[in-house]
Structure formats: C-alpha cells, structure tokens
Copies of this chain bind each other. A is one copy, B any other.
C-alpha cells in the first residue's frame, strides 16, 4: 500500500517547508526574528504542526548548524584539494573558512554564536566522505610536523590552535560594526596563518 509512503513523503515536504521558511526569515530579518509562530504563519499551518517535526526550537537551529558544518567542511575539502603542499593547503583552507564565514554569516552565527552545543554538529560527517574540518586541517599539519622535531605539542593541539586563530579573527570582526577595512582584516588573517605555519616546525 502506497498510502503510508505518500504520507511520509508529504510529511517530509512539510518538514522541508519549515526549514526553507525558517531560513528565509533568518536571511531577511536575522536569527532573533525567527519564531515558531512566524514559521507556522508562513507555511500556513498552525503552531503545533511545527512541533510534530521538531521537538523544540533549538532542534531547528541545530539542523542549520549541522548544515553549516557540512557546507564548511565541503568548502575546506575543496580548497585543500587544489594543493599538494601541506602549507599551501592550510593557507587555502584558512581562506575558505574566512570566505565561508562572511558569505554565510547566518550559518556562522548559528554554528557558534547561538549557544548551541556544537560538539556533535561539528563532528558531523558529510556524505559521501567523512569530511570534518578538524581532521582535514590535522592531516596537513601532521605532514608538516613529521618533518620537524617539535615534540612539546601534538597535531591535535595545533589543529585546535589553527581553528582558534581563524575563529577569533572572524568572531571579533563580526561583532565590531566599524572596524578595519575588509582588505586589512584579511591581510591580518593571512599574516596570522603565516606565523602559525612557521611555528609548526
């Protein structure tokens, strides 16, 4: 009987509709403007229907956070793939991370600024390959570090630093309205990454 199949399909459709509508609201009015009632109004259903698909509002946010981590992972994998030299790979990944953050502010915000426990989302594995930006960075760093004699610090810790440096620069730039010019900001980032790479060996 294809009835239950159709039902599942229709339910999925409503779910996608909820997410698409939510995303539109966020893009137009920002995260703080997103409410269950607004979504319900827009999809022309009553409020409890939204709760049939997501146990609460945070689950909706988490969905976008996961999407964001997947997208970021793909972008970084793509950037990395264009280079063979591990240092060049790190530079390209930093650049990809930077561009992702500012071309997708809404994603970046839900990933890091909305108080969602990001550990799980961050560790998400995007099909077809297990793309995780921590491991992506770790591989390149590992390559560079095996050629050096630094034993005081691990690859995992250096990956953490790499991430922190970029995230710090981005999150500070994002919260300050009138800061340095964009070009200067990117220059600062590139200099920081260059220093990081030097400090690996």
Which residues of A are in contact with B by a Cβ distance under 8 Å?
Answer: 32, 112-113, 115, 117-119, 152-153, 156-157, 160-161, 163-169, 171-172, 175-178, 180, 184, 187-188, 191-192, 194-196, 198-199
Contact = CB atoms under 8 A, between A and B. Distances in A.
Number of copies: 2
* Chain A, interface SS category: helix
A118 B177 CA distance: 9
A94 B172 CA distance: 17
A165 B188 CA distance: 11
Given A169-B164, A172-B167, A157 B177 contact: no
A107 to B, nearest CB: 16
B157 A161 contact: no
Contacts of A32: 115
A180 B155 CA distance: 13
